Amino acid sequence: KVIKGTILKNGKYTTYRGICSGKQLHDVAKSHNASVTEFLGAIQLLALNKLAQATNCRDKKPIRVLVPVNLRKLYNVETLRNFSSYFFYQYNGQTELADVIADLQQQAWEQQEWMESQVTRSGKSIWEFFMDFITKQHEREYFERDER
């Protein structure tokens, strides 16, 4: 299929939109020993770095992207509600896709460790924390119904 672009109002940049098979995307990500999230995050960071170079960006702030993460897989739980958060991925100057992916995997591991430390600081496991949250949510919904 042909990927089409749209010129934005400032006339400088082009946005591309494409369609691909989810299975193909998954297979390509796995061929790079990455999840789809890690693969797309790495591609996005490399593209943003190229854009910064092409436009002679003088901003010295690091390139970062905020990526939604499904916590169900990380904590091996099944939930009825969304159980997600975000990871920050930062570009650290690598030029090869494999190096960016490896760096993102390290960043994700560090952020997962930090999340676990925040949750378990109270001495509760992630599962106990989650069950307390669900119980309180159901109590709120129950009492709100009674008040109506």
Q: What span, in angstroms and rounded, lies between the C-alpha atoms of 29 and 13?
A: 27
pLDDT for residue 100? 96
pLDDT for residue 1? 47
DSSP state of 56: T
What pLDDT digit, counting tens, does each position of 25-34 carry? Answer: 999 999 999 9
3 state SS of 92: coil
Contact between 87 and 111 under an 8 Å Cβ cutoff? The reply is yes
What pLDDT digit, counting tens, does each position of 99-140 carry? Answer: 999 999 999 888 888 777 665 555 556 666 666 666 666 566
For 71, residues 6+ apart whose C-beta sits below 8 A from its C-beta are: 77, 83, 84, 85, 115
Once rounded to an integer, what is the mean pLDDT over residues 64-89?
A: 77
* Whether pLDDT at 146 is above 80: no
Contact between 14 and 7 under an 8 Å Cβ cutoff? The reply is yes
